[in-house]
Amino acid sequence: MRGTVKRDVERVVVGILAEQAAMSPEDVTLGATLEDLGIDSLGVVETIFSIEEAFDIEVPFNANQPEASEFDIHTVGSIVRSVESLIATRA
Amino acid sequence: MRRVVITGQGAITALGATAPATLEGMRHGRCGIGELAFENVDRLSIRIGGQIRGYDPEAVFSRQQLSLYDRFTQFALIAADEALGQSGLVITEALGERTGVVLGTAGGGLQTQEENYRAVYAEGKNRVHPLVVPKLMNSAAASHVSMTHDLTGPVWSVATACASSNHAMGQAMGLIRAGQADVVLTGGSESMLCFGGIKAWEGLRVMSKDACRPFSADRSGMVQGEGAAVFVFEELEHARARGAEILAEVTGFSMNSDASDIVAPSVTGATRAMRGALLDARLDPTAIGYVNAHGTGTVANDRAECAAVRGVFGAHADDLMISSTKSMHGHLIGGTGAVELLACVMAVRDGVVAPTIGYREPDPECDLDVVPNEARDARVEAAMTNAFAFGGLNAVLVVTAFS
C-alpha cells in the first residue's frame, strides 16, 4: 500500500513537470533538474500551484529564498520527496 | 523648450495622511507596514502590508460621494486637494481649460470589484449597486479630480502595472512641454489591499511574510502598500508670473520596453531608460546625487537594478546614494512612482535622503550606498526615480533642484 502511494506521488509529480516542460512523462527522469527540463521561474510557480492543487497541500516556497525553503526543487526526485513529506505531515 | 516645475504636492500613504506627514515618516525611517485588516485576511498566507490606518472615508466624503468613489479614487482626491492647495492656483474657467489630469493606477476600482463579486458569487445576490461601473473604472479617479476642481483640459489615466505613475507623470511633463496644457495634476493612486488583491499576488511566490528589505542579502520579497500622491506640474513661466513657490524642476523623462519577459526585469531595458532620462534632462550622470530605486525587495529586481545603475553611472555609482522607500510605505503598484517622487523632491529641496529601512546584511550583488536604515543629510542637485514594471515597461524621471 505504501509503495503504491509512493509511486502515485511520483507519477503525478512527473506528469505535472512533463506537462510544464511540454515533454513526454517517460522522458522525465528523477535525476533531472528543472533547468534540464527547461522550466523557468514562471514555470516553477505554475508547477508548485499544480502540485498544491493535485495533492491538496500547501507548499512553502518563496522565489526570493529558494534555498531557505523546506521545499527542495533541485531535481525531479527531490520534489517528489518533498511532496511525500508534506503529505505525511498533513496526515 | 517650455520647462516644467512642481508647485504643489499631496499624498496619503501608510506613513501619513499628507505629503509632509509621509515625508516626516521617510525622514525618520519609520515603517508603515503592519498586519493587514480586511475581510477574509485569515485565508491569506501573506498578512502584512502598508495599509492606511485611522482613515475614515465618511469624515471626508458625503454618502453620495462615497457611492461613486472607490478607495483608490478617494485617495487620489485627497492627494489632489492637498497639492492644489499648496500650489495656490485659482482655477478660473480659462485656466481650467489649460489644466489637465494624468493619473496612474494599475488596478483601478479593485475594492469595488471585490465587494460586488463577493455579493453576486459568494453571497448569491442577484443585484448590485447601480453605480458599480463608474465606480470601478480605471479612469474614475482622474475624472473625479477633474470634476471636483473644474479642470477641463486633457484628462486620462495610465495603467502600466508598477510603472503607471511614472508613465503618467512623464506624459504630464510632455503635455506641458508640448504646449497642450500649462498645468497638470499628476501622480497616481492604488488600493489593492483586499482579499482578492493579495490572494493573486501570493500565487507569484514573491511576497514577504515579514518585511520588505530591499538590497539586504536576507531579503524575503515585496510587500504591498496603498495610497496616492499627486503633484501640480506647471509650466515654469506660468509659475513665475504668479510668484509661485517652486519645489523642484522636472527635467528628464524616458520610457521604453524590454519586449522580453512578462515578469522578469531586464538590465538592458533599465539601463536604456536611465540613460534616456539623463539625456532628456541634459545632465551628465555625475549630476545625479540620489536614485530612488524601483527596489521591490525581490532578488530579481534588486540585482538587475543595481547592475543597471553600475552600467549607467560607472565609477559615479560608488558616489551616489540609492534607496528604496518601499521598505517603509510598501509597493503601491500603480501609485508607487508618485509616492517615490516625493522622496526625490525632498532630496533636492530639503537636502534629506530617505533611507532603505529593514536593511541587515550586505548583498555583494547590490554593493551600492543604499542609505541603510537612517535618512541622511546631503546636498543633492538632481535625483532620479525608477519604475520597472512587469511586462518590461520602464519609466524613469529626473528632478532637479530649482534656484
Tell me, what's the pLDDT at A89? Answer: 87
Q: Tell me whether residue B219 is in a domain.
A: yes
- Report chain A's mean pLDDT, rounded to a whole number: 90
Which residues share a beta bridge with B124? none
Q: Over 50: is that where the pLDDT of A25 sits?
A: yes
pLDDT tens sequence across B55-83: 999 999 999 999 999 999 999 999 999 99
Tell me, what's the pLDDT at A4? Answer: 63
Which of B174, B207, B241 lies at the terminal end of a domain, its last residue?
A: B241
Q: Which chain B residue is nearest to residue A59, measuring alpha carbons?
A: B205
pLDDT, average across residues B182-210: 97
- Note whether B211 and B269 are same-domain residues: no
ipTM of predicted assembly, 2 dp: 0.80
Set of chain A residues whose Cβ sits within 8 Å of the Cβ of B221: 62-65
User: Is B162 among the catalytic positions?
Assistant: yes
Set of chain B residues whose Cβ sits within 8 Å of the Cβ of A44: 205
Q: Which of B144, B149, B238, B294 is catalytic?
A: B294
- Of B221, B262, B300, which has the smallest distance from its Cβ to A62's Cβ? B221
Q: Over 60: is that where the pLDDT of A2 sits?
A: no
Alpha carbon distance B101, B146 (integer Å): 7
Which of B220, B241, B262 lies at the terminal end of a domain, its last residue?
A: B241
Cβ–Cβ gap B206/A42 under 8 Å: no
- Note whether B65 and B212 are same-domain residues: yes
pLDDT tens sequence across B251-279: 999 999 999 999 999 999 999 999 999 99
Tell me, what's the pLDDT at B289? Answer: 98
Tell me, what's the pLDDT at B403? Answer: 83
- Domain range holding B221? 4-241
Chain A residue set in contact with B, beta carbons under 8 Å:
41-42, 44-45, 48-49, 58, 61-65
- Note whether B136 and B88 are same-domain residues: yes
Task: Please report, for chain A, the start and end positions of each structural domain, with discontinuous segments joined by +.
Answer: 2-90
Q: Over 80: is that where the pLDDT of A3 sits?
A: no
Lowest-pLDDT range, A63-67, B26-30, B58-62, B267-271?
Answer: A63-67
Q: Over 60: is that where the pLDDT of B383 sits?
A: yes
Q: Which of B167, B331, B344, B366 is catalytic?
A: B331
Q: Tell me whether residue B247 is in a domain.
A: no
- Note whether B189 and B337 are same-domain residues: no
What percent of chain A stands above pLDDT 90? 73
DSSP states of A33-51 = BTTTTT--HHHHHHHHHHH
Residue B156, H or E segment: strand B155-158
Closest chain A C-alpha to B343 CA, distance in angstroms: 26
**Number of other CB atoms surrounding residue B390 within 10 Å:** 17
Tell me, what's the pLDDT at A6? Answer: 65
Q: Tell me whether residue B339 is in a domain.
A: yes
- Note whether B113 and B40 are same-domain residues: yes
Tell me, what's the pLDDT at A64? Answer: 85
Set of chain B residues whose Cβ sits within 8 Å of the Cβ of A48: 205
Tell me, what's the pLDDT at A1? Answer: 46
Cβ–Cβ gap B204/A64 under 8 Å: no
Total-model pTM: 0.95
- Note whether B385 and B285 are same-domain residues: yes
Specify the CATH number for the domain of residue B285. 3.40.47.10
Set of chain B residues whose Cβ sits within 8 Å of the Cβ of A65: 220-221
- Note whether B226 and B288 are same-domain residues: no
Most A CBs within 10 Å: which of B43, B204, B205, as the mutation test of the A interface? B205
Q: Tell me whether residue B84 is in a domain.
A: yes
Cβ–Cβ gap B205/A65 under 8 Å: no
Q: Please give the CATH topology (third level) of the domain spanning A2-90.
A: 1.10.1200
Burial class, B269, CB count within 10 angstroms (exposed 0-12 / middle 13-18 / buried 19+): buried
Burial class, B383, CB count within 10 angstroms (exposed 0-12 / middle 13-18 / buried 19+): buried
Q: Which of B31, B144, B149, B162 is catalytic?
A: B162
Q: Tell me whether residue B146 is in a domain.
A: yes
pLDDT tens sequence across A78-91: 999 999 999 998 77
Closest chain A C-alpha to B319 CA, distance in angstroms: 28
Question: Would you call B200 an interface residue with chain A, using a CB distance cutoff of 8 Å?
Answer: no
pLDDT tens sequence across B310-369: 999 999 999 999 999 999 999 999 999 999 999 999 999 999 999 999 999 999 999 999
- Note whether B349 and B215 are same-domain residues: no
Which of B241, B270, B285 lies at the terminal end of a domain, its last residue?
A: B241
- Note whether B261 and B229 are same-domain residues: no
Phi, psi of B185 (to 5 degrees): -85, 120
**Number of other CB atoms surrounding residue B178 within 10 Å:** 10
Closest chain A C-alpha to B219 CA, distance in angstroms: 7
Tell me, what's the pLDDT at A5? Answer: 64
Structural domains counted in chain B: 2
Contact of B229 with B19, CB cutoff 8 Å: yes
- Note whether B232 and B287 are same-domain residues: no
- Note whether B237 and B304 are same-domain residues: no
Q: Tell me whether residue B329 is in a domain.
A: yes
- Note whether B31 and B143 are same-domain residues: yes
